[in-house]
Structure 1
Amino acid sequence: MFVAIKEQHKGVDVCINNAGLSHPEPLLSGKTSAWKNIMDVNVLALSICTREAYQSMKERNVDDGHIININSLCGHKVIPFADFHLYTATKYAVTALTEGLRQELRAEKTHIRATSISPGLVATEFISRASSKNPDEVAAFYATTKSLKTKDIASTVTYILSTSPHVQVCAYFQSVWT
């Protein structure tokens, strides 16, 4: 992917790590293969994309780039749903990785910024794909639960990209589980 980006656009100035998934695999009875898939996408892929984006910026002397990790409130609080406990662990990892990235960027004396956005529930197909609940239960859940829209996340990203380099934005979105 990064080779194609380099050929078509010369490189990366902004990286938004937005991929994430879960499977309904509790800690006491889950399948190892599903856990590996969650870790590969939510932690390893995010780390690889971060590394490659930084290398692209460094190679081209981009000193005002930005790496944004779409995290989750689950990266700060364990919710009481067994189906999501491993997912939660990966989002805690994203919280730690973002802070580690920020420290490494500071040590490199670069002005490239690292940001983590931690929304609560967003109205997407995530719950229906990640939950062991049947589709009718998921539909009822969304019908009775306040959730963010994808445009709310897009607006937040736009806002963060438009802020001064000296501003650190810390925004946690309301969650149905708090």
Structure 2
Amino acid sequence: MLVAVEGSHVRSQALAGSAPVTGNVAEDDVTATRLAASGKNHAEHVYAATSVAEKLGTLASVQHSDPHVIRLPRIMHLATDISGDLHAPATALAVAGVVHPSAAVCGTPTELAARVLAELEGFDRGRYAGPVGWLDADGDGEFAIALRCGQVSDDGRSIRLFAGGGIVAGSDPSEELAETARKFLPMYEALSPVDRP
């Protein structure tokens, strides 16, 4: 959740730092404990959460939770909930424009990281990692970041999928590649022509 605005209340949820979910409760409990204790994952998470809280803090009085683990069907993340009350009326789109891009999608410091990414990535991200959401007539709404997404080709015959990982000091390239592959799984499964029981 990049930002959600309802009246004067604003909230966000920073996710960074990941581990696989297997479906085996005992194994996943051990993995969650390791994720919560991981220095590398906490460093990655702090960059993301701090960037959101600081940018949101220019528009609102904010408070945030301690990092905690949330489990999704295929992956778990460190999460920090950030919320507050806007100093002045603002639409969800305007707030999203201030908060995006966060360190989770661009790095930090933002301007330098954006230049380095443009040079090193070698492709135009297009819609990848952009805000996606809705806005009502009152300006309330919710925007998420399109971190795991796809784009249908112009001829409608293929889909290009996007996912990525946060690279920080201590990142292991093979682990980051495996994490990115896990992030693709729900999209692969949703698009697969194979029937599942």
Q: Calculate the TM-score normalised by the size of structure 1.
A: 0.32
Write 1 or 2 for the structure with the bigger share of strand.
2
Higher helix share: 1
Normalization by structure 2: what TM-score? Answer: 0.30
